[in-house]
Structure 1
Amino acid sequence: MPNQPRTQHRSVRVDDDDWADLDAVAQRMGTNRAQVINAYIRWHLRRPDARRPERPTREQLGLPRGDRTSLDDLLDDF
Structure 2
Amino acid sequence: MANAHRHKLRGIRGISDETWDAFDEATKAALTDRSSPLRQTIDWYLRRPGAKLPERPPAGQWSEAPKE
TM-score, length of structure 1 as denominator length: 0.64
Question: Hey, what does 2:10 align to over in structure 1?
Answer: 10
The number of residues matched between the two structures is: 61
Query: 4+ runs of 1 displaced by more than 4 Å?
Result: none
What RMSD in Å do the two structures reach over aligned CA positions?
1.9
How do 1:1-78 residues align onto structure 2 when only pairs under 5 Å count?
A: 1-13=1-13, 14-58=15-59, 61-62=60-61
Q: Which has the higher contact order (CA 8 A, sep 6+)?
A: 2
Which sections of structure 1, spanning at least 5 residues, go unmatched? 64-78
Which residue does 1:71 correspond to in 2?
A: none
Larger Rg: 1
Where do 5+ consecutive residues of structure 2 fail to align? 63-68
